[in-house]
Amino acid sequence: MFGPALVAALLASAVVAWGMPAPPSPPPDPIGSIFGPDTALAPGTKFEGSEDKEIIRRIIRRHINEVKWCYEQELSKKPDLAGRIMVQFTVAASGQVIASVLQNSTMGNARVESCTVEAVRRWQFPKPLGGGIVIISYPFVLTPAEATKLVLGTNGAGAVEIETFEPTLFVHRSTDADAVPSNGLVAVTARGLLLVDTAWTDAQTEAVLAWGDRRFHRPWIGAVITHDHADRAGGLAALERRRIPVSALDLTVAKMTRRGVRGVTTLFLARDGALKDPRGFEAFYPGSGHASDNIVLRFPGLVYGGCLVKSMAATDLGFTGDADLASWPVAIGNVRARYSDAAIVPGHGPVDLSGEAYQHTIDLLATANGGRSAKK
């Protein structure tokens, strides 16, 4: 879930740069803090990951109601208002924010954008070490609190809902007969609507398609399947009935053909590695992991990791019947190296706005592999 009413995207990849005096080269990972002691934090506070990132998160959490107020003033006028606001701000040697500007935004609402920029301008950070300045680019993802329920289901099973990520990106979530949730995407493009992975069943998939018809009054121009499992392609018949073109990695097409599924065309070849699609995304094959044919898709501000990436709520790897446990950490590393600056939609579970789902998946794999592949 994205609510309530506000999500500050605490991305691990928030860009941090510091001014004079500057180090001759980037510090190793993990790095020490470029900030002085944060006197507002309790003595002995422990940080996970980069200390600087955690300090930034903590300061922003203290002021988050200011950004929330900016958003909710306009949300009351437009209930489906949503978007991602990237603010770049400069922390002076005193710790005061001396400059704050809008770097980019998908919000489409000048009042929320300007109010957020001004709010950040009033914040105070710990003093940077060495008397330099710190320049931070920080994304705020703002969405309505409630998901749209399309199908209620029974005792958690058979349900379908839509959650807004941005005005042009929506997560569709469905549950199977055992109430296991699975994620997919709906992307609004200039030419029409694109579906990424189906729901569990034909009926659930049709509910998602019908929602898109009602909401946008645009044609469905295609669908992309990220690997050949039932939680990705269980609703293909609904697409076939509507004659929506479906594409996938060549390895996925081959798997489907072997089990008698026809009509899915090749999006790109595994040996080519990646494809920039004119519909507004990049498809990337990182290698074998959860399945031999798993791909990820990168949209602006969002990585659809599918079942290759485990959610932060996951306590194990889930189904591994087709997995390559030895290669999976390498595949995750390939995705993280290529897309480290976006929110992550895993195949199951909540959207990750912290950017830590890659490492969480690696940690789960390390446990499964007897402690190997645990390096960050």
Same domain, 137 and 160: no
What is the residue-averaged pLDDT of the chain? 85
| 8 Å CB contact between 309 and 346 | yes
Q: Is residue 7 part of a domain?
A: no
Percentage of residues in the chain having pLDDT higher than 70: 84
Same domain, 110 and 124: yes
Same domain, 130 and 217: no
Q: Is residue 6 part of a domain?
A: no
What's the Cα-to-Cα distance from 231 to each of 198, 221, 306, 348, 363, rounded to whole Å? 7, 21, 10, 9, 24
Confidence of residue 129 (pLDDT cuts 50, 70, 90): confident
Q: Is residue 172 part of a domain?
A: yes
Mean pLDDT of 258-275: 97
Tens of pLDDT, residue by residue over 44-91, are: 333 333 446 778 878 888 898 899 899 988 988 888 888 889 999 999
pLDDT at 231 over 60: yes
Same domain, 347 and 264: yes
Residue after which a domain boundary falls, among 142, 161, 180: 142
Residue after which a domain boundary falls, among 119, 142, 165: 142
- Pairing outcome for strands 169-175 and 181-188: antiparallel
pLDDT of residue 35: 52
Rounded CA gap, 26 and 40, in Å? 28
* Domain total in the chain: 2
Same domain, 125 and 165: no
Q: Is residue 375 part of a domain?
A: no
Q: Which of 36-50, 127-141, 338-352, 359-373 has the lowest mean pLDDT?
A: 36-50
Tens of pLDDT, residue by residue over 247-258, are: 999 999 999 999
pLDDT of residue 7: 38
Q: Is the peptide bond before 144 cis (omega within 30 degrees of 0)?
A: no
Same domain, 135 and 204: no
pLDDT at 376 over 70: no
What's the Cα-to-Cα distance from 140 to each of 117, 336, 354, rounded to whole Å? 11, 21, 11
Same domain, 114 and 155: no
Same domain, 155 and 111: no
Rounded CA gap, 226 and 240, in Å? 17
pLDDT of residue 206: 98
Tally Cβ neighbours within 10 Å of residue 351: 23
Same domain, 120 and 225: no
Query: What angle in degrees, to the nearest 10, is found between the helix axes of 64-75 and 51-62?
Result: 50
Percentage of residues in the chain having pLDDT higher than 90: 64
The CATH number that applies at residue 332 is 3.60.15.10
Q: Residue 202 CA to chain centroid, in angstroms?
A: 26
Tens of pLDDT, residue by residue over 274-333, are: 999 999 999 999 999 999 999 999 998 899 999 999 999 999 999 999 999 999 999 999
Domain containing 314 equals 148-368
Same domain, 178 and 136: no
pLDDT at 245 over 80: yes
pLDDT of residue 371: 54
Residue after which a domain boundary falls, among 94, 118, 142: 142
Q: Is residue 251 part of a domain?
A: yes
Q: Is residue 289 part of a domain?
A: yes
Q: Is residue 9 part of a domain?
A: no
Q: What is the dihedral of CA 310, 315, 316, 317, to 10 degrees?
A: -10
Q: Residue 357 CA to chain centroid, in angstroms?
A: 9
Count of helices and strands (H, E) across the chain: 9, 17
Same domain, 192 and 251: yes
Same domain, 276 and 152: yes
Mean pLDDT of 346-369: 92
The CATH number that applies at residue 81 is 3.30.1150
Q: Is residue 2 part of a domain?
A: no
Confidence of residue 147 (pLDDT cuts 50, 70, 90): confident
Higher-pLDDT residue of 171 and 135 is: 171
